[in-house]
Chain A
Amino acid sequence: EAQVTQNPRYLITVTGKKLTVTCSQNMNHEYMSWYRQDPGLGLRQIYYSMNVEVTDKGDVPEGYKVSRKEKRNFPLILESPSPNQTSLYFCASSPSNYLGNTIYFGEGSWLTVV
């Protein structure tokens, strides 16, 4: 089954404790991306990657890091989480960076930083 898998789905952590949200896709997609969704602000892109070892900032990259060492994985790293990073996070993938391809979303990761 084609899917984008995120882990953990739910996490409560403390300020400053490094954490990683993993994302894996089994569709051999070139393009992967991370979004955060907040009430009243909608979905905002954090980082995206058009292929292995190619990443770029989205609209809200501050406080986040990513890496793309393998095609299937695109982890999101919060080096020193802060309460304003409490959000619902979605990983997504797409066959290529060709404009118009369908984007497939993971199920989301609820992150709370206290």
Chain B
Amino acid sequence: QKEVEQNSGPLSVPEGAIASLNCTYSDRGSQSFFWYRQYSGKSPELIMSIYSNGDKEDGRFTAQLNKASQYVSLLIRDSQPSDSATYLCAVTDSGAGSYQLTFGKGTKLSVIP
């Protein structure tokens, strides 16, 4: 059974601080990794994707991937109250000819003004 694990939170950080969100996955052959942001009652929206080991930066967001440790993280710099949401880690499976995306249960982030 493929598993994607995240701390459920809530993770509280003060405005302007760095928020660090973590995710581990069980399928060693997974190739693609995503972070989605979901506001309460809304659909998930993609904020970052990463496919190779190392860091990928996009504005205030940095995704980090370590395939050897089966670990992916998301850093949010200069956190804003509008970043308060649930962050979902998603991992594609490694099965040939299939496309399944397994989501973690999400980490709830609260940015305190």
Contact = CB atoms under 8 A, between A and B. Distances in A.
A98 B44 CA distance: 20
B56 interface: no
Interface string B73-91: 0000000000000001000
A34 B34 CA distance: 18
A56 B98 CA distance: 9
Q: Which residue of B34, B92, B99 has the most chain A CB atoms within 10 A of its CB atom?
A: B99
A15 interface: no
Interface string B12-43: 00000000000000000001101000000111
A105 B49 contact: no
Nearest to A104: B46
Contacts of A59: 100, 102
A108 interface: yes
A31 B101 CA distance: 12
Given A42-B103, A58-B100, A99 B92 contact: yes
A100 B101 contact: no
Nearest to B50: A100
A50 B100 contact: no
Interface string A77-102: 00000000000001000100111101
A100 B43 contact: no
Contact of B103 (A43, A99, A107, A108): A43
A27 interface: no
Given A99-B31, A100-B32, A108 B43 contact: yes
Interface string A1-45: 000000000000000000000000000000101010000111111
Contacts of B100: 45, 48, 58-59
Contacts of B105: 40-42
Given A42-B88, A48-B100, A56-B98, A107 B43 contact: yes
Contacts of B106: 42
Interface of A: 31, 33, 35, 40-45, 48, 50, 56, 58-59, 90, 94, 97-100, 102-103, 105-108
